[in-house]
Structure 1
């Protein structure tokens, strides 16, 4: 059958997390690099569609093509390993330690950032003919996004930081749902459909994805966006990473693990108390 039942795909989640902990440094970095690069290209694609059509929904509908491709090729995003890798530790898989989990997270972060940064540079070159002229309409839009989602949050102070964090939580709730949805099917079409829906939702809603932002904000800086590297780190990337971790692990990884793998004790028929009789008037 194409559909995989929850208790089976949750086991797949734990197995995947365990495999990532023990993956070689070289393989982890290469897979993360390619994931960051492909997702960055998808983000550039979606922004281009939005600018050229004037319809943000069109960009959101087509953005998941990048996520589906990188997942099917076995590449790793930080948002996905935030959800999967800790499950191997919680399940007490042999040899899995906190040090191994943190090593995986760090390597994937570095690889994702390097891949996204390379694409940011390449796209900035294409938007400006090698920095020989002002950015085109798409480049200007990316610069505007960078300003609005850094100094725009900063203008609201603590309320802006809270909003940024919550958008990070909501983002990886959806993105990690997409990662898990791909494990619900054994067919390519089923995996793609399962991934497409939550990824489209997060992008259209403007939630904060740490790897997409690794492309949008560096490219925005290269294209003349009116914000600084410190603005980007403090008022976007760092809070977004924390929000992504909380959202993916809490609302996807732990909920599925606790209810489909390490379930609570079942109630016995005798535990069902008889309803109280209501005396007749």
Structure 2
């Protein structure tokens, strides 16, 4: 499967982050729009499977198909650029600035949201026959998901907010691992297998993904979920974005950069003259 070593894909991560920062506005928006739309469709697909089979695990197993499509086609999710772009700044790549990173994040957020909202509207039309009747079973489920993961958190106050934030951190720990995993192989099959595993974990564990939620919650509101846009923004999207940023950058980007790109010198072996036993000097 043409395995790429960690040292080599660490360099690829920084190169990718630099490339995204300098990408044109048009290309950034289009790629983000398509990523948001595809991931939203994958989420609708997974929920449909879970409702029709009664087994959420089956939906989780098949959900990563959307993620794989996104990265094989070169599209961008907010969770991915959270991890990759700052590495170019840390590595002091010429011309990379905080402003450039924030510009990329802002454009990707807008593109992801627009793509997810497009699919949310389309699926709401499908689930209700053009808003002419009550939502079907899948539509009702999406509405209930939105209630539980907004006002459900709010009912617990600060502990609920902490739980939401940690779920978002854990989410992008796994999702960004999937982003990086795509760089571990030069073959399509290798990339897909490597990406599939961490994405399955994130989805089945119910972690909070900012782009998936850009579909689930607006769609839930359209489908009659008993929560508001303010509930969605304050008790899900904003804390989820912040948690995704912390999780991806801290536990994936910074860790791989620190140990595989900026590798520390190896310890020097020392042989004791008396015993002949080897030790290591720092």
> TM-score normalised by the shorter chain: which range applies?
over 0.9
Deviations 1:29-65 (A, max 9, x none): 0000000000000000000000000000000000000
TM-score, normalised relative to structure 1: 0.96
Instruction: State the secondary structure of the residue aligned to 2:134.
Output: coil
Number of matched pairs: 275
- Name the structure 1 match of 2:182: 182
1:117 paired with 2:128, answer no
SS of equivalent to 1:112:
helix
Offset at residue 266 of structure 1 (A) = 2.5
Aligned residue for 2:153? 153
Q: Which runs of 5+ in 2 are unaligned?
A: 276-282
Partner residue, 2:233: 233
For 1:261 and 1:217, how far apart are their aligned partners in 2? 39
Distance across 2 between alignment mates of 1:196 and 1:261: 25
Specify the alignment match of 2:191 in structure 1: 191
Matched, 1:20 2:4: no
Q: Which runs of 4+ in 1 moved over 4 A?
A: none
CA distance in 1: counterparts of 2:109 and 2:192, whole angstroms:
24
In structure 2, C-alpha distance between the alignment counterparts of 1:196 and 1:268, rounded to whole Å: 39
**1:231–1:266 distance in 2 versus 1, CA, 3 Å:** same
Could you tell me how far apart the structure 2 residues matched to 1:24 and 1:218 are?
29
Gaps of 5+ in 1: 276-281
Look up the SS of the partner of 1:183 in the other structure.
coil
Give the match for residue 278 of structure 1: none
CA distance in 2, matches of 1:271, 1:52: 66
Q: TM-score, normalised to structure 2's length?
A: 0.95
Alpha-carbon separation, structure 1, partners of 2:97 and 2:267 = 34
Following superposition, the deviation at residue 223 of structure 1 comes to 0.3
User: How does 1:26-41 map onto structure 2 within 5 Å?
Assistant: 26-41=26-41
